[in-house]
Amino acid sequence: MEVSIKGMKKEDFKDNEYIDKLVEELNASGANVVVGSIDKLINWGRANSLWPLCFGTSCCAIEFMHLGAARHDMARFGFEVARNSPRQADYIMVQGTIVHRMAPVLVRLYEQMAEPKYVIACGGCTVSGGPFKGSYCVVEGIDKILPVDVYIPGCPPRPEAMFYGLMQLQRKMKVERFFGGVNRQDKIKDFLAKHPEKAEAMK
């Protein structure tokens, strides 16, 4: 099965192995025809209606504003309904450094979001601490405190890179199953297995 994203061919994506592996896992157990089609429909809806939570801490947020502005216009993909309330957002795109004071706020925001929810680490700071690696109060990569779905490197990433990241998220969403086995749950389990100390905090 090939996960199709309108306007971008499979070979244009750089990490097909990861998605292919997910598809394989899904197909291994087989899918019911009816449930499978409903899943497809729902995933189509979910992937095409990604409402971001406005969460910019620094430079990347300005590039995100450019993503919404006229030239790049993320509205074309239906991403433009930026919600300010985490309850109504689908994914949180962390734009900018997360520091010690911000970390609990970010985790709380994530917890306030309604499932299914996704996290995009946008920019070098959120991927690894970026230029501020080694500082006394910078969280070196938000994957230390949140399960991250897509990483977008760059300092700040260009709007094109952000589109690529968002399309990757769309592809990922399209191989999930809403009915039956849910990869999403596995992801959180994996995350908690890796970070046992977070298991308490996530509850």
Partner 1 sequence: MVDLKEKIGKLCPSATFEDGEVLRVCVDAKEWRALAEQLKNDADLNFDYLVAVIGCDWKETLGCVYELTSTASRAMLEVKVTTADRENPMLHSVSDLWKVAELQEREVFDFYGIKFIGHPDMRRLFLRNDWVGYPLRKDYDANPEINPIRLNLEENEDDSLTYVEENGKVVEKKYKLFADDDYVVNFGPQHPSTHGVMRLRTLIDGETVSKVVPVPGYIHRGIEKLCESHSYPQTLMYTDRMDYMSAHQNRHCLCLCIEKALGIQVPRRAQIIRVMMDELMRMSSHLLSYGCMTMDMGATTAFFYGFREREQILDIFDKTCGARMSLHYNVIGGVVADVHPDFIKDVRELCAIMPSRLKEYHKLFTGNVIAQNRTKGVGVITKEQAINYGITGPSARATGYSCDVRKHTPYAIYDELKFDEVIETAGDSFARYMLRMREIEQCVSLLEQLCDLLEKEEGNEICAKVPKLIKLPVGHWFQQVEASRGAFGVYIESDGGKNPYRMHFNSPCLNLIGVVDLSCSGYKIADLITITASLDYVIPDIDR
Partner 2 sequence: MFNFGVFTEWFDQLLESVMPGWAATVIECVIIGVLLLAVYSVLALFYIFYERKLCAWFQCRLGPMRVGPWGVLQSFADMFKILIKELIRLENIDRFLFALAPYLVIVASMLSFAVLPWGNGLQIIDFNIGVFFMIAASSIGVLGILLAGWSSNNKYTLIGAMRSGAQMISYELSVGLSIMTMVVLAGTMSITGLVEAQQDGWFIFKGHIPAIIAFIIYLIAATGETNRGPFDLPEAEHELTAGYHTEYSGIHFGFFYLAEYLNLFIVSGIASLMFLGGWMPFHVPGWEGFNAVMDYIPSVVWFLGKAFFVSFIIIWFKWSFPRVRIDQLLALEWKYLMPIGLFNLVLMTLVVVYGLHF
**Residues interacting with partner 2, by CB under 8 A?**
6-7, 41-42, 44-49, 51, 70, 73, 75-78, 80-81, 83-85, 87-88, 90, 112, 114-116, 178
Q: Establish if 194 lies at the interface with partner 1 (CB under 8 A).
A: no
**Cβ-defined contacts of 105-113 (< 8 Å, 24+):** 106/55, 106/142, 106/145, 106/146, 107/145, 107/146, 107/201, 109/53, 109/55, 110/86, 110/146, 111/202, 112/86, 112/87, 113/53, 113/86, 113/87, 113/89
Out of 156, 165, 169, 175, which residue is the one contacting partner 1 (CB under 8 A)?
A: 156
Q: Establish if 139 lies at the interface with partner 1 (CB under 8 A).
A: yes
Q: Establish if 128 lies at the interface with partner 1 (CB under 8 A).
A: no
Q: Is residue 94 within 8 Å of residue 121, measured between CB atoms?
A: yes
Q: Which residues bind partner 1 (CB under 8 A)?
A: 53-59, 61-63, 65-66, 69-71, 84, 86, 96-97, 99-105, 107-109, 131-132, 134-139, 144-145, 155-156, 158, 201
